[in-house]
Amino acid sequence: MIRVIQSDITLLQVDAIVNAANESLLGGGGVDGAIHRAAGPELREYNIRLGGCKTGEARLTPGFKLPARWIIHTVGPVWHGGKRGEAGLLKSCYREVFRIAIEQNVKTLVLPAISTGIYGYPKEAAAKIALSAMQATEKYFIEIIICTFSAEDAAIYNRQLAKAPASDN
């Protein structure tokens, strides 16, 4: 089941949450900063040893002080008008997140709107990519939750979800 909520991702008690991280994995603004603050300094210390993460890739860490057991960090692309492979990189983010989640036997997964904040990816286009990836892997999960910060973003994902073809899962 895929559903959309407007909430604080750091408060959700699930198997794993996804962090829209930067390449350093050492914290930043938006969702990334909120996750780092809520998880505590152990997350930063752990991530220093990981040595970063390239755009389109993902890394797994413990949730530390979060109610989620795991954090899957992924680095989405910065939007440059769609001419620098942004769509492929965003698709890769989701592929990598779901690959790690399936390997870890995650059954409840929460994702933010990757790359649509400061990275500027157009929200409707990002939602289509996200939902396509979610529907392709939905059968491996009990629940996939899209967690948005704003009502506007929740409405975009709900609209795209309503338009999406029914899943066979």
Active site members: 32
**Closest among 36, 6, 8 to 21, alpha carbons compared:** 36
Q: 105: which 2 tokens?
A: 């036997």
Q: Crossing angle, helix 86-103 and helix 123-137, to 10 degrees?
A: 30
DSSP secondary structure letter of residue 10: G
